[in-house]
Structure 1
Amino acid sequence: MLLLVANYGQLWFQAYWSKSPVTFLELLGMSLRKVNARTIVQAKIMSTQAGLGREISVRKLEAHYLAGGDVPRVTRALIAAQRADIDLDFDRACAIDLAGRDVLDAVQTSVNPKVIDCPDKISGKSTLSAVAKNGVELKIRARVTVRTNISQLIGGATEETIIARVGEGIITSIGSAESHFDVMEHPDTISKAVLHRGLDAQTAFQIVSIDIADIEVGENIGARLQADQAEADTRVARAKAEERRSIAIAREQEMKASTAENRARVLQSEALVPKAMGEAFRAGRLESIGPRSGVPASA
C-alpha cells in the first residue's frame, strides 16, 4: 500500500482535488498494462473541468490509449467542439484520430475556416492557365476558404481533391467564356459558377467561398495555333509541289528515253532498207526505169 501511495499518491491527490477521482487500483492497472497513468489522469481532469466528465471515463481514455490514439489531443478536440457547439462525441473523435486525421485541427478548422491556395504552392505552379474562346490565355490564382466537415472527415477526400476540383472548375468556366475581356471585367462570375458546382461533395471540407486573387493575360494561343497551322499548310503545299515537280521531271526523262528508243528503232529500220533493196534487185523483184528513154531496164 505504501508503494502505491509513493508511486501514485501525487496523481491520486491531483485527480481527487480536481473532482476527477481515480482509484489506486485503476492506477495500478494502468501500470500493469503499460499505460501512461499521468496522461490518462490529466486527460480526465481536463474533461471534467470542461464539463465532459460523464461522457469521458477513465476506461474509455485508457482503451483509446491502448489502441494507439492521441488521448490529450482527442480530449482537447472534444473540449473545443463543446465550446463551439459542434456535435462531436468521444467515440467519433476517437475514430477520427485512429483513422490518421488530426481531430483537433479539424475542430479548429470548423471554428476558424482556413484558406487554401489554388494551385497549391507545393506543386510548383504559381497560376492556373486557361484559354477563353477567343484564344487568349489567362493566368489565374484563386483562394479557397474551407471549413472541416466533421461528418465526412473519415473517408472524405482531402485538400488535394478540393484544389484539383476548383482548378478544373475555373479552367472549364473560363473556357466557356466568349472573350477573356468578359472574365477580366467580371471575375466574380467565374467564382460563383465554380462555387455552385458542389465541388465539396464527398470531401472532408465544406467550401465557404472561392475568390479570384489575381488574373494575368498570357499569350494569344489561338493566334499562335493559327500561325502554326498556316506554316504547316505551307510546308504541306511545298511538299506536294515538290512531289509534282519530281513526277514531272521523271515523266520528262521517261519521254526522252522513249524518244531515243524510237529514234534508235527508226535508224535500225533505215539501216535495213539498202540491204532489202539489194536483195530485191538480185531476186528480180525490183525494176529500174531509165531516166531518159523511159524503157524499163531489167536487173
Structure 2
Amino acid sequence: MILSQMWMAVNAAPAQKLGEWLAVAFIGVMFLMVIVTGVFYFQIGSLWLQAFLARAHISLIQVVGMKLRRSPAKDIVRWKIMATQAGVAISTQELETAALQGADVERAVLAMIRAQQTGQEITWNDVIAEDTEQRLRDGS
C-alpha cells in the first residue's frame, strides 16, 4: 500500500507530487518508529512486568539501565524475584554489581535464602566475598 502511494505521488502533478511524497515519507517514518518502539517495549516491558507482578520492585528505568550497561537483565530480574519471594532483601543494584563482577549470583541468592531459613546472620557482601575467594582458589 505504501509503495502504491509512493508510485502515485511520483506520477502526480509537480506541485502535488512533493506534498504527497512528504506525507507518504512521514507515514513511513512514523510506522518505523512504532515498530522500533514496540520491539523495545516488548523486551524491556516484559521484564518489568514480570518483576512488577512478582512485587520485586524493579523500576522500568532500572531495566533500561541494565540493558544499556549490557547486564544480564533477564537473570537479574529472575534472581530478584527469587529473593523477594523468599523474603530476602537484596537490592537490584547489588545483584547487578555482583553479576558484572562475575560472581555466581544465583548460588549467592540461594545461600542468602538458606541462611535466612536457618536463622544465620550473613550479609550479601559476605556471600559475594566468599564466592570471589572460592573462584580465586579454584582458578576459574
Relative to the length of structure 2, the TM-score reads: 0.65
1:77 matched to 2:108? The reply is no
Q: Does residue 1:38 correspond to 2:74, yes or no?
A: yes
Look up the match of 1:17: 53
Q: 1:3 deviation in Å?
A: 3.7
Could you give the per-residue CA deviations for residues 66-101 of structure 1, whole angstroms, max 9, x where no partner exists? 111111110011001110111211110011011126
**Which string of whole-angstrom CA distances, capped at 9 and with x for unpartnered residues, describes residues 146-195 of structure 1?**
xxxxxxxxx9xxxxxxxxxxxxxxxxxxxxxxxxxxxxxxxxxxxxxxxx
- Can you give the 5+ residue segments of structure 2 that lack an aligned partner in the other structure? 1-36
Q: Deviations over 1:229-287 (max 9, x none)?
A: xxxxxxxxxxxxxxxxxxxxxxxxxxxxxxxxxxxxxxxxxxxxxxxxxxxxxxxxxxx
Higher RCO by CA contacts (8 Å cutoff, separation 6 or greater): 2
Whichever structure has more helix as a proportion of its residues is 2
Letter in 2 for 1:58: T
| 1:113-262 mapped onto 2 (5 Å cutoff) | none
- Aligned partners of 2:66, 2:94: CA distance in 1, in Å? 12
Instruction: Return the letter of the residue paired with 2:75.
Output: T
In structure 2, do the counterparts of structure 1 residues 3 and 23 end up closer, same or farther at CA, with 3 Å as the change threshold? farther
Unaligned runs of 5+ in 1: 102-154, 156-299
Q: Does residue 1:93 correspond to 2:127, yes or no? A: yes
Check whether the contact 1:39–1:71 (CA below 8 A) recurs between aligned residues.
no
- Show the counterpart of 1:61: 95
CA distance in 2, matches of 1:9, 1:57: 20
CA–CA separation in structure 2 for the residues paired with 1:45 and 1:72: 11
Matched residue type, 2:113: I
Percent identity over paired residues: 35
Distance 1:24 1:3 in 2: 15
Mapped contact 1:8–1:24 kept (Cα < 8 A): yes
CA distance in 1 between partners of 2:40 and 2:88 (Å): 28
In the TM superposition, residue 30 of structure 1 has moved relative to its aligned partner by 1.1
Q: Distance in 1 between matches of 2:81 and 2:126?
A: 20
Report how far residue 4 of structure 1 moved.
3.1
Q: How many residues align?
A: 100
Looking at secondary structure, tell me which structure has more strand per residue.
1
Q: Which residue of 2 aligns with 1:48?
A: 84
Q: Deviations over 1:170-225 (max 9, x none)?
A: xxxxxxxxxxxxxxxxxxxxxxxxxxxxxxxxxxxxxxxxxxxxxxxxxxxxxxxx
1:99 alignment partner, SS class: helix
Q: Distance in 1 between matches of 2:123 and 2:133?
A: 16
Report deviation, 1:31. 1.5
Aligned mates of 1:100, 1:31 — CA distance in 2: 29
Q: Is the 8 A contact 1:4 1:24 kept in 2?
A: no
Q: Which has the larger radius of gyration?
A: 1
2:131 and 2:64 map into 1 onto residues whose CA distance is: 27
Alpha-carbon distance between aligned partners in 2 of 1:67 and 1:23, rounded to the nearest angstrom: 22
Q: 1:20-68 deviations in whole A, cap 9, x for unaligned?
A: 1222221121122221101100111111111113xx1000100111111
Q: Could you say which residue in structure 2 is the equivalent of 1:281?
A: none
Partner of 1:28: 64
What is the SS of the residue equivalent to 2:134? coil
